[in-house]
Homo-oligomer: A and B are copies of this chain.
Amino acid sequence: KINSERLWNTLHETCEWGAEHRYGENPTDTGMARLTLNDDDARVRRWFAAEVQKLGCSLSVDQMGNMFARQAGRLNSAAPMIAMGSHLDTQPRGGRYDGILGIMAALEILRTMKESGFKTNYDVGVVNWTNEEGARFPKSMCSSGVWAGAIPIQKAWDLRDIHDPSVTLRSELERHGYLGDIACSSDPTTGYPLGAHFELHIEQGPILPGNNRSIGVVQGAQGYRWLTMTVHGKDAHTGTTPFSARQDPLLASSRMIAASHDIAKRYDALASTGIIRVPSNASTNTVSSQVTFTLDIRHPQDSVVHAVQDECLKAFEVIASQDGKGVSFDWTLDTDSPAVQFDDNCVASIQAAADQLVGREKSMLMTSGAGHDTVYTSKHCPSAMIFVPCRDGVSHHPTEYCSPQDCALGTQALLEAVVHYDQF
């Protein structure tokens, strides 16, 4: 049985590195701004390295700075380890649980095993994946993506700090001594293959709290596509140009955003626009010449994601010809993340753990709405995830909160699932 207090204290102690955005009076009433490979991220990495080595783990670092801590199993088998992975980096206005809980839970499990003299059959360990958030170096699930062969390493190394383009992800790896010599790959000869990958994560949504469940058995992740639309019109004076003479890209974009929502709703899918931009010299009395906006389409079935995209683009064509002299538009596909089914055996191990800990009334099968490192690991090893509720579903926000009870429950479930899978 894991030590709930030690877990909670360790998590919040290490959040001293990167604490920001105070919102309340308790010492832990802050969010986090521990951006990938900033000085605080380097500090928590050094702490993590020291802690796992204290436990007798070996530590390997690959060329993306992914950290693999490994605890030998009873059988001294050469098989790849069963990994518990997540990430220690955060959003610029992030919270104390997203990613961090997954690593702290894994560490607590190794501590519990060591303390109680328990040994798994096969090697088990922890992975700290570099730059999951993609907030400083803009590519999310970056280094699990390189490990899985989905992102070329050079592209990842060349990512620039969004605020200081003179700094690259590689230059920061070098500065902190985290450019390891193992290939970032699942290849058994050059890289670091894994036997399985389990990830405990906060849900980041309202489904568990809304259904009064405390454990989500995550059997896959929905597919998503990110598009950037650029709508072209023509600058015109808002006072002197009749509607009939206009080519108004902001009016067209507005109709497109509303239409994409309505279409997604009909499919029970999601379509969301997070960013819209007009040129910096836009003014109140000038119809803009150009507007760009993002479109994020999601559904557990890829076919539905595609259908929503197709129907949106068709609707956008109609809208583009609708007002005044019409507008034109083009688009790029920036991210294509197909739906993923996690491994049946991993899911079964998590379900067994949940059944034992809380029963079927307090757990539920679910599909992850967001991408996680496990989406990439699942391409090269059996993988699955455990979700625990976070307050009001709020995440990527300083007030993100997961109760000590839920942190502990998720950690215990992770322990049981790994032991179950190790025995299987």
Contacts and interface: CB of A to CB of B under 8 A. Distances in A.
Contact of A261 (B239, B242, B323): B323
A178 interface: no
B224 A239 contact: yes
A245 B272 CA distance: 13
A251 B396 CA distance: 20
Interface in A280-318: 281-288, 294, 296, 298
Interface stretch (A44-52, A68-76, A199-207, A414-422): A199-207
A235 B393 CA distance: 11
A276 interface: yes
Contact of A255 (B140, B254, B296): B254
Interface residues of A, number: 63
A241 B369 contact: yes
Copies of this protein in the assembly total: 2
B275 A278 contact: yes
Interface of A: 92-93, 135, 140, 203-207, 210, 222, 224, 226, 235-243, 245, 248, 250-251, 253-255, 257-258, 261, 264-265, 270, 272-276, 278, 281-288, 294, 296, 298, 323, 334, 368-371, 393-397
B283 A239 contact: no
Given A210-B245, A239-B298, 15 more contacts: A204-B240, A205-B237, A205-B240, A205-B241, A237-B370, A237-B396, A238-B272, A238-B296, A238-B298, A243-B261, A250-B257, A261-B323, A274-B283, A284-B296, A285-B296
B92 A281 contact: yes
A277 to B, nearest CB: 8
Contacts of A242: 205-207, 270
A287 B274 contact: yes
In the complex, which of the residues A206, A237, A287 has the most CB atoms of chain B within 10 Å of its own CB atom?
A: A237
A283 B135 contact: yes
B281 A278 contact: no
Contacts of A394: 235-236
Contacts of A264: 243
